[in-house]
Structure 1
């Protein structure tokens, strides 16, 4: 069983408990919470898999505010955790300054590149998995209008948006993708009420498939879509089961694998940039018993063809972060 300590506002990180091995790894979740049914929870599942397979223990912290990031990293490093894995790009600036003070500690950060000799930066090709989701949405949409609802309006999430739009228009060249973002602060990741409001607004404009890339906020998007009897697309974790028969698919981002493999590497974690793309199984669309009836043979064949095309290089999916533009918009 993991050694779990939740970081509360103003709390010191001294209560890790006696007896923990000095080389215990640690996992820090981003704002939105461990059980967001999306990004953070995928990290948790990877840590749990490592524990179940190895019998090891790990430490974990849930962030309650931006101000706690540096304190959390320093206290974990000083207490001997190694490696320390961070779920989320927002740790980037803090890690860049903290890592140099603990050269014997290995760090891993997901969704951000930090160029330090003891840091592994794990990035995903979200645009590739989102392209596959877009192809499925384009084939499923009867109105020719799909929706995209993001969390924070930042380039990382615009990668999802752009790949989705490109895939959707590959299936429906004259189609339309409506786009909304929840906000410009970290609160955007954990506002399911606002997510539901944005979904209903897009539905009123004709959207009959909506892709949510918004962390915990996406739960409200999926709920609103189910209530209005349209299709939705989940993200990060497999969310098909949340509304069986109404979630067309989920663009899974294997944060669980990233955490599991970082924990498995332990103090031998290799620094540098690690790219988890479609070919490496870092991203994909989820098809299982919860959405199987929605996926026609024709749709499956189109997804398989698109996947093969992306891996071979025949299909070039635009990465928004290369030039901050989206040709498919």
Structure 2
């Protein structure tokens, strides 16, 4: 399948768009109701100079979540914030349909098709099969998916090199652990989550081969209680840092860390997908593995508006600014950040190739 846009062009454009949007929505919690039920912008039109308001567009872009939902403080929320920021800046119509279970994927995708939406996003690997079926049945519709590869002539597939970003937070964990026990909480055991674990383990091993990694796949991206229970077990086993790649299940990891901190234990969580210190605070968030889903959403959506939308596959890693650490890391010492940069440069120039599965 042919490549969709050059990677450098994609993230140059994304950075420009993000600056144009002010980046403000990326740090706000997602709205709890679909956008179609709310005003298109958060500031009343009367308070905004006419010159600053985007021209109204007839283009409609929809998004189907997996069952983590747009308030998962992680993956789906980052996607929704990216689409919302783009919609508010460009004047397009945008909305989402939330999936409560796997059986909702095809009906939700088909609803957007039947209503004539111009681009339909699927968020997550779990929508891959459903999108392939719907895309094949509707060859004139345009689709895009995050974290899946759909081999159809009307689908743009955006994937990330999670293992590269996870390697960097593994370096942080390996250098900052005091107990030499580190936890990893995954959601569903699928390739994308395995990439998180694989990179995390390799980053730890690169700087602290004596550290023990304890892992637990909860089997869900929407079970905070299971995340909390997994974290409690790990902290009680002596882990002092836990990295989660579990969507809303990870909320429970943070909740347990808060309780452990209150009890006097020096424990940390490494967040995922977005800067989770914004939601859970710097008191328990050591750092986060940023996965710039919001920028990818904006970039592909802009290509539709520009008339340059081209199906195909793109894979975004450190070199493409698709994964990495947040800009601000107040809990990570300068010498550790310097080591992170050193390894980041080695990955970027090919000196280090990070494995994609824990068994490699």
Structure 2 contact 71–77 (Cα < 8 Å) conserved: yes
Report whether the alignment pairs 1:208 with 2:240: yes
Report whether the alignment pairs 1:246 with 2:284: yes
Structure 1 contact 85–107 (Cα < 8 Å) conserved: yes
> Aligned-pair distance for 1:75?
2.0
> Aligned-pair distance for 1:148?
0.1
> Aligned-pair distance for 1:55?
2.0
2:126 alignment partner in structure 1: 90
Structure 1 contact 22–79 (Cα < 8 Å) conserved: no
TM-score normalised per structure 1: 0.88
User: Which structure 1 segments of 5+ residues have no match?
Assistant: 6-19
Report whether the alignment pairs 1:232 with 2:273: no
> Aligned-pair distance for 1:144?
0.9
Report whether the alignment pairs 1:296 with 2:333: yes
User: Which structure 2 segments of 5+ residues have no match?
Assistant: 1-33, 39-55, 262-266
Stretch deviating more after TM superposition (111-120 or 50-59):
50-59
Aligned residues: 302
Structure 2 contact 66–101 (Cα < 8 Å) conserved: no
Task: State the distance in 1 between where 2:200 and 2:247 align.
Answer: 17
Task: State the distance in 1 between where 2:296 and 2:327 align.
Answer: 21
Structure 2 contact 164–354 (Cα < 8 Å) conserved: yes
Report whether the alignment pairs 1:282 with 2:322: yes
Instruction: Select 1:52's aligned residue among 78, 88, 96.
Output: 88
**Equivalences for 1:1-329 in 2 at 5 Å?**
2-4=35-37, 23-183=59-219, 188-229=220-261, 230-241=267-278, 242-266=280-304, 268-288=308-328, 291-292=329-330, 294-320=331-357, 325-327=358-360
> Aligned-pair distance for 1:92?
1.0
Task: State the distance in 2 between where 1:319 and 1:4 align.
Answer: 41
Stretch deviating more after TM superposition (152-161 or 267-276):
267-276
Structure 2 contact 171–203 (Cα < 8 Å) conserved: yes
> Aligned-pair distance for 1:65?
2.2
> Aligned-pair distance for 1:4?
4.9
Task: State the distance in 1 between where 2:198 and 2:58 align.
Answer: 43
Task: State the distance in 1 between where 2:131 and 2:217 align.
Answer: 27
2:46 alignment partner in structure 1: none
> Aligned-pair distance for 1:250?
0.6
Structure 1 contact 47–256 (Cα < 8 Å) conserved: yes
Moved runs in structure 1, 4+ residues, more than 3 A? 20-23
Structure 1 contact 27–60 (Cα < 8 Å) conserved: yes
Structure 1 contact 23–80 (Cα < 8 Å) conserved: no
Task: State the distance in 1 between where 2:352 and 2:127 align.
Answer: 33
